[in-house]
Structure formats: structure tokens, C-alpha cells
Structure 1
Amino acid sequence: MFNRTNLLIILLAMASAGLGLGLSALLRPAPAPLPAMPSTHSAALAIGDAAGAIRLPDRDGKPRSLSEWNGRLVVLNFWASWCGPCREEMPMLDRARTRYAARGVEVIGVAAEEAPVALAFLEQNPVSYPILINSPDEPPDVSLTLGNTQSVLPYTALIGRDGRILATRMGNFSEQALDDWIAPYL
């Protein structure tokens, strides 16, 4: 049976619980702020920025600078041998290089993996376009520098004849998609 005494006991119990929760919140020390993480990479460049002094080794280990291709429209494609979509688009990129060569377009592949792995893959799957190596254990990650903040492969940056970033794209291309992507810059 419910009477005023029972109601008073329930109200006192609820008031005590509320007071206890309030005091525990007031007396609990504030958590220490998390230390700032040191930056492990430079900020990504944006469309319109100069690609900068990108220098990577080629298939033979010879350092090559992206500026060697100034004056040409450069399709800079980041890939890895373990990436299925990358492997699918490589023959199409090879054909595109041949098709657009007379119009001042160069396709350059950048292997985002260790050189021996990339070179072994290329022996079995040759392409005619230049290949540079951006080994993960040798920073900087050039694709990140050129805007690949999601670390997606394949990733492609279109570098203008003046060395500025014109466009970027995550994911692989069809032949028509590549043609449509570079057409405004020819």
C-alpha cells in the first residue's frame, strides 16, 4: 500500500541520488588535454598550386625531377602492383600516352611501393611510359603532397605545362573518362 511515508522515502532517495551525481561531477578532475600530434607530412597542395620540386628515382634508380617534363601536360598516375584497379588501367594509360604524345601529353607512373616489387611486376606487365618509384619507407609521400589525403590508389594528378596542378582524381579511369578529364587542357 502506498502512503505519504513511502512517498517521502522515495523522494529522499531520488534527492540523495541526484545530489551524489552532482557532487561527483563537480569533484571529478578535468581530463588532461591530449598532446598535439607532431605532423608527419607537409600540407597537401591544392589545385592551382605549383607541384614543386618533386624528385623521385626512376626504374634504374636515377633521380628524376618532375620539372623535366615542364612544357608538357603530365598525367601523373600513382599505382601499386597489389592494386587491382591500378593494374586494370595501366594498359589504357599506355595507349593514351601513344595517342596524345603529339599533343604534348606525357603519362608518368609512380609506383607507391618498394622498387623490387614494382620492377618485378613491370617485367611481367611492361608499359612504355616513364615509371618513378615512391617507396613508402622513403618520405615524402608524393601522392599525399599532391592532394591524396585519403591514400587511395590509383590516384592521378594532372600537372599543367607550367608545373601547376590542374586536377586530381581518386580511382581508376575508363578510356573515355581520361579523354574527358584532360580534354579541357589540351
Structure 2
Amino acid sequence: MNRKILVFCLVALIAAAAGIAFYGYREQAPAPATSESGPELNFTLPDLQDVPQPIAQWRGKILLINFWATWCPPCLKEIPEFVKLQAEYQDRGVQFVGIALEDKQPVQDYQSRMKVNYPLLIGGEDAAILAQRLGNVINTVPFTVIVDQQGKIVHRQLGELSREKILEVVEPLLKAN
């Protein structure tokens, strides 16, 4: 009986620590060191047609790189807003890129229903590693990084990213150029 209580308390303590760490990091937007905008942003992943898409093709634009999955309710909740923002801001040099942490078929099925207007890349397990290198410290989805026109990460978001937060980060970048 005492062992069960001890195990329960230990699990509760770990869960509380993870929650505190997530809550404390979730809203932070640390200014990354220059090295963080280097090799990690030089990757290529296939799109839904299996065509390799290098992230470098969008250099010079404000990039919102969103790591997501079709089995993730918060991911699916934020995508319709991303679609609206892509339509509104594409002519101003803003580019959303979705990186799915799963196989191609569920993403294709989702795309055929939702008509996402920005590139969806298939990352599978490699995407989780990439997200971690970009700052996903708790290995969760959704996870989004916003990259300025010079290729520097200017914001990291663990969990849902609201329209308001996107505009708070993106608008000053648009005015700077």
C-alpha cells in the first residue's frame, strides 16, 4: 500500500513539474542565438506529391513553420486560422509551412477535406527531431516557429498559436522591411 502511494506521489510530482515547465516556456519568445538560425533551417522534406521541398526556397519571407498531426485536436483547431492568415498575408511576404509528424496518407486525407492553402510537408519521425532542434523542449504538438526575413527564429510557440500572437510577432517584421 505504501509503495502505491509513493509511486502515485512521484508521478504527480513529475506531472506537476512538466506542467510548470510547459506553462513557463509556452509564452516565452526567447531571442535565439545566431547559431540557431543556421543548419536547423537548412532542411528538405517531401510534400504530398513526394517532391522534395527545401525550406531554403522561402528565404527572404517571414516563415511560420508549424509542426502538427492529424490526431492532434489543438493542431486541427489552429489550421483554419492559418489558412485565413496565409490568404491575407501571402502578398506581403508571409509563408506558412506545415510539417506533419506522421505518414502521408492521413495528411492527404485531411488536405482533401480542408483545402489547406500552404505547403504541407511530411516529416514523420524526422520532424520530431527537427522540432526538438528548433526548440520544442517538451516534444509536443502543435509547435510553431516564426522565422524573420533573415532566417532568424524570432518566436517559438509550444501549443496553440492564436491569430493575435501571430500578428503581434509578424506585424513588426513586416514594418521593418
Question: Does residue 98 of structure 2 align to residue 109 of structure 1?
Answer: yes
Q: Give the gaps of 5 or more residues in structure 1.
A: 1-45
Moved over 6 A (4+): none
Q: CA deviation digits over 1:122-145, x for unaligned, max 9?
A: 222221111111112x47722112
**Distance of 1:151 and 1:140 partners within structure 2:** 7
2:122 to 120, 133, 136: 133
Q: Give the gaps of 5 or more residues in structure 2.
A: 1-30
* Contact 1:156/1:170, CA 8 A, preserved across alignment: yes
* Contact 1:77/1:155, CA 8 A, preserved across alignment: yes
1:173 Cα offset (Å): 2.1
Question: What is aligned with 2:59?
Answer: 70
Question: Does residue 82 of structure 2 align to residue 93 of structure 1?
Answer: yes
1:90 Cα offset (Å): 0.5
* Contact 1:67/1:163, CA 8 A, preserved across alignment: no
TM-score of the pair, normalised by structure 1: 0.70
**Distance of 1:71 and 1:106 partners within structure 2:** 10
* Contact 1:160/1:166, CA 8 A, preserved across alignment: yes
1:51 Cα offset (Å): 4.3
**Distance of 1:154 and 1:78 partners within structure 2:** 6
**Distance of 1:139 and 1:100 partners within structure 2:** 26
Q: Which amino acid aligns with 2:37?
A: A
* Contact 2:142/2:160, CA 8 A, preserved across alignment: yes
**Distance of 1:172 and 1:183 partners within structure 2:** 19
* Contact 2:146/2:153, CA 8 A, preserved across alignment: yes
Q: CA deviation digits over 1:140-162, x for unaligned, max 9?
A: 72211211121111100111212
* Contact 1:134/1:141, CA 8 A, preserved across alignment: no
* Contact 2:143/2:157, CA 8 A, preserved across alignment: yes
2:37 to 50, 62, 84: 50
Distance 1:185 1:153, change over 3 A: same
> Aligned residues: percent identity?
29
Q: Which amino acid aligns with 1:148?
A: N
* Contact 2:67/2:142, CA 8 A, preserved across alignment: yes
Question: Does residue 151 of structure 2 align to residue 163 of structure 1?
Answer: yes
Larger Rg belongs to: 1
Secondary structure of 1:166's partner? Answer: strand
Question: What is aligned with 1:82?
Answer: 71
Q: What root-mean-square deviation, in Å, do the aligned CA atoms of Structure 1 and Structure 2 show?
A: 1.7
TM-score of the pair, normalised by structure 2: 0.73
Q: Which amino acid aligns with 2:131?
A: S
